Structures are given as C-alpha cells and as structure tokens.
Amino acid sequence: MKPIVVFILSVILVSCNAGESHKRIDNTKSISRGYAGIDVSWHQGSIDWVKASKDFPVDCFVYIKCTEGASYQDKNFKTYAKGAKKQGLHIGGYHYFRMTSSAHEQFKNYKNALDVIDGDLIPMVDVETSDKRPKKDLQDSLQVFLKLLEKEYGKMPMIYGTMRSYNTYCAPKFNSYPLYIGRYGKKAPIVNGPSHYTIWQYSETGTIRGIEKPVDLCSFHKSKSITDILL
C-alpha cells in the first residue's frame, strides 16, 4: 500500500502446495497453510476475477484501495469491487489517510465511494505518513476519523500500516483496533505495546492467474479468522 505519488503495492499468490495451486482450500487460520486474502489497487492493472477466484482459498477476503485524502478515488475501485463480489469474495475498501486535509473531509470522500460497493468487510484505514506533521496532530486527526467510521458502520475499523509506520505513528494508542500489519518475510510483525496483529501482510510478490501484476499476500493471526473482520 502506497500513496498515489509513489509506485508500488503488489499483491498475491502463494499456494499451500505448489502442485495444487488451483485447488480451493480452507486455509484462513494459519500462515503455514497459505494466504487468507489480498489487497489491491490500480497498480495491479487488469484483473480477471473469474480466473483469479479459482486460486483463492475458501472465504478469501479482498481489500481494494478506495480513496486517499479528501478527493482522490482509485480509478479501478468500483470495477474491482464489482468483479470480486460477483465471484462471491469478501470485499472491502481501504482509505489512505493524509494530513493534508481534515478528518471530516476525508471521511466524506471515503464514505461516498465505499457505500457504492455494499461490501461486507469492516472499513480499513492505511496510515503510513504524517505528511511532516507532529505525531500528536496525526493521532488526534486519525482518532476523529476512526470514530466517524465506527459511528457510521457500527464496527471498529481496521488500521493498516507497515510494522515500522504503525509503531512510529500509532502504537500503542490505537492497539485496541484490529490491525493489518505489513512485514515481508518469515518473521511475523511485532506491535509495540500489549497487542498483536489481526492480519499479517507477509508478501508483496504473490502471483495469481488473472491478475496482471504481483500482489500482497495476507494471513490471519492464529487466534483470528474472517469473522473478525466482517461487518
């Protein structure tokens, strides 16, 4: 996950067994048994959800970049959401939080786009930059944004960050929220303070039939499952 001014974000495919890449398996609870979901943005290019869905695990979730700041909306958000939903996947949108506009303006932009897809995943907020503003200012503004989402959708939203960005800007103040933490490799992310991740984004080089470019692969913490992120 990256701001629109930076090239990146990749997402998906890692199979439990290389020889069974096309077999749908129930692997939502343990990273050793495969990935549980992905996240995508316009960087993924063309996606054939019919082909891609054949490689996905049971109850696969897909988070799609929805908005950024007060006005930007991902150009592929609606198309991706429609295609993924048609294949019976759990879908949701994420918002890239910026300090260049108010929490209320960003909430309005996000809600207007998110409500169109009628997804079934809790809202997610991507926090990776302070835009050179003081940490306290970022946390105060983020708190307003999160409370607006919780009031609107009736569930605590999830916070995304790399292990570094989350621990730098958010921990431990927001540790009570569901956390979607990026740390690529075999070592699980560590959250500063008394908490742990809900979802671990462990790879940015996954490949899946039907998806033009690499994608991020994600797995649940051993104590979590898809029920923890459903609306």
Q: How far apart are CA 198 and CA 133, in angstroms?
A: 28
- Please name the residues in contact with 47: beta carbons below 8 A apart, sequence gap of 6 or more: 40, 80, 83, 210, 211, 212
Alpha carbon dihedral 184, 186, 192, 196, in 10-degree steps, equals 100
**Which pair of structure tokens corresponds to residue 99?**
């300090």
Q: Which amino acid is present at 11?
A: V
Cβ atoms within 10 Å of 75's Cβ, excluding its own: 11
Catalytic residue numbers read 39, 128
Cβ atoms within 10 Å of 119's Cβ, excluding its own: 24
